[in-house]
Amino acid sequence: MLNKIDKLMAEVAAMHAKNAGEAENLRIKYLGRKGIMNDLMEEFRSVAPEKKRELGQKLNTLKQAITERINSLKDQAAVTETAGPAVDLTRTPYPIPLGTRHPLTIVKNEIVDIFSRLGFTLAEGPEVEDDWHVYSSMNFADDHPARDMQDTFFIESHPDIILRSHTSSVQARVMEKQQPPIRVICPGRVYRNEAISARAHCFFHQVEGLYVDKNVSFTDLKQVLLLFAQEMFGPDTKIRLRPSYFPFTEPSAEMDISCHLCGGKGCSFCKHTGWVEILGCGMVDPAVLDANGIDSSVYTGYAFGMGIERITNLKYQVKDLRMFSENDTRFLDEFVSAN
Ligand code: PHE
């Protein structure tokens, strides 16, 4: 029996098949119910007990070798049969898995799209900024708490160079270069020195808008924001403005929208108030216009700013802010259809 096994082992390497049919015939011949391997197994039963161990191992190796050889012959046959003789080995493998857009990009694009239909153009600026563009030109007093170490990331040894904590710095950069009419939308990443948790992160994304021209009024602001809210969250969305404070706007307001989950009736999402806050806004403080080279006796303007994460959370109910920066494809793949 040992001889038979050795002879068969030698046959294995020499096996060949021109097509899948021949490979299948080989399988039947060697591994089929009435095949050679089965005959050997029958023979094995009557082998003396002390030889069983050695022979059994050999039989297993043989069976494995035959199976692998036939499988590889089948694979080869399948390749030549489907691709024909001219196999292009440089071809990209299919299917190519499609990536998804990041949810923050999807929402940012949507926001930018809505405002560009209202005549706003895109403006972008650096994330590493100087104090002037982030704070001083925006009318922050020298001792304003936002400049504090707790909020702002400073570049070591350059106290004047910081990571921008809001995209208002881009507004400053636009105003210093351009005279009104100005109508820009500024999306971008901003940094604040906060402990990372489900509700806060050390960086997030904003979109700010600025409109400066003659006779720009608070009514214009309100109308544009109402239109934005209805485009973003549906035509039945209502808005509400509450008085607030920002150094760079006067008067200032925070805007709520009627909760789009319960339609304003009150639910756990809106803490049973029927309203959720989405942005800050106001009329550009004349001191900001003057500091940036725009004559405040001729021009007025409005500005608004919102967190993209916040808007995304409202649209998609993402519960944990950290999901946005962890690159977990299980999370990202949920936005395939939102592309
Ligand atoms: N810059 C403000 C912030 O970061 C947002 C804002 C922009 C508010 C413009 C009013 C007007 O919180």
Please list the residues that pair with 307 across neighbouring strands.
206
Atom 6 of ligand 1 has which residue's CA nearest to it?
A: 305
281 in contact with ligand 1, CB cutoff 6 A:
yes
304 in contact with ligand 1, CB cutoff 6 A:
yes
166 in contact with ligand 1, CB cutoff 6 A:
yes
Return the pLDDT at 150. Answer: 67
CA distance 195 to 260: 30
Tokens 């351009």 belong to residue? 178
Write out the two tokens for 43: 């023979």
- DSSP tally for the chain: helices H, then strands E: 11, 10
C-alpha atoms less than 13 angstroms from C-alpha of 213 in its C-beta half-sphere: 13
Atom 9 of ligand 1 has which residue's CA nearest to it?
A: 304
Compute the radius of gyration of the chain from its Cα atoms. Answer: 35
150-182 pLDDT per residue, tens: 689 988 888 889 999 999 999 999 999 999 999
- CA neighbor of 209 nearest in space, from 259, 249, 238: 249
Return the pLDDT at 288. Answer: 97
Q: What is the pLDDT along the chain (339 residues), one digit of tens a residue?
A: 888 888 888 888 888 888 888 889 999 999 998 889 998 888 888 888 888 888 889 889 999 999 999 998 888 887 766 655 577 778 777 777 778 899 999 999 999 999 999 999 999 999 999 999 999 999 998 888 877 766 899 888 888 899 999 999 999 999 999 999 999 999 999 999 998 998 889 999 999 999 999 999 999 999 999 999 999 999 999 999 999 999 999 999 999 999 988 888 999 888 999 999 999 999 999 999 999 999 999 999 999 999 999 999 988 888 888 999 998 988 988 887 655
Atom 10 of ligand 1 has which residue's CA nearest to it?
A: 281
Atom number in ligand 1 closest to CA 209? 9
Sheet strand arrangement including 154-155 = 128-130, 158-163, 154-155
Return the pLDDT at 183. Answer: 98
Atom 2 of ligand 1 has which residue's CA nearest to it?
A: 305
168 in contact with ligand 1, CB cutoff 6 A:
yes
**Cα of 304 from ligand 1 centre, angstroms:** 6
Return the pLDDT at 74. Answer: 87
Contact 208, 303 (CB under 8 A): yes
Return the pLDDT at 247. Answer: 94
* Furthest C-alpha separation in the chain: 111
**Cα of 298 from ligand 1 centre, angstroms:** 23
For 131, the enclosing helix (H) or strand (E) is helix 131-134
Buried b (16+ CB within 10 A) or exposed e, 204-242: bbbbbbbbbeeebeeebbbebbbebbbbbbeeebbbebe
Identify the three-state secondary structure at position 260. Answer: coil
208 in contact with ligand 1, CB cutoff 6 A:
yes
Atom 7 of ligand 1 has which residue's CA nearest to it?
A: 305
CA 31 to chain centre: 51
282 in contact with ligand 1, CB cutoff 6 A:
yes
**Cα of 288 from ligand 1 centre, angstroms:** 13
CA distance 173 to 162: 15
Return the CATH fold of 103-338.
BirA Bifunctional Protein; domain 2 (3.30.930)
Return the pLDDT at 55. Answer: 87
Return the pLDDT at 84. Answer: 59
